Amino acid sequence: MILVFKHFFYKNYVGLSLWPFIILKEDALKADEVLINHERIHLKQQRELLILPFYLWYVAEWLFRTILYLDSYRAYQNISFEREAYANEKDMHYPSKRKTFGFLQYLTR
């Protein structure tokens, strides 16, 4: 289910997923298939980790990588969940065909 909240977003971010919802900054973004697909991949990741552990892992990996790279944006881009979502967001069939815990193969590269 897709919701729109204009005043919910930090900096350039325009979408996020909070299972079972995809939240967008603007109505027009509903037409952005790649963005929606990216968020659908996150919903799959969240569900397979039973939601709460996803967020804990996400923040822990972001903190670890921020220390590693000394660059919080680069850290965000390299979180395994984001690597999987960015690498496959243009493949519209990816959310239905990906293997469970598919993000694990993006932990190291």
Give least dist CB 103 to Zn ion, A: 11
Copy the structure tokens of residue 92. Answer: 């519209």
| CA distance linking residue 16 with residue 20, whole number of Å | 11
Site for Zn ion in 82-101 (CB under 5 A): 82, 85
Choose the binding region for Zn ion from 6-14, 46-54, 79-87, 101-109 (rule: CB under 5 A): 79-87
Q: How far is CA 98 from CA 42, 70, 91, 107, in A?
A: 12, 31, 11, 16
Give least dist CB 18 to Zn ion, A: 12
Choose the binding region for Zn ion from 21-29, 44-52, 54-62, 77-85 (rule: CB under 5 A): 77-85
Which CB atom, from 61 or from 82, has the smaller least distance to Zn ion?
A: 82
Contacts of 109 (CB under 8 A, 6+ apart): 83
Give least dist CB 31 to Zn ion, A: 18
| CA distance linking residue 18 with residue 51, whole number of Å | 9
Copy the structure tokens of residue 7. Answer: 């005043």
36 binds Zn ion (CB under 5 A): no
**Which residues form the interface with Zn ion (CB under 5 A)?**
82, 85
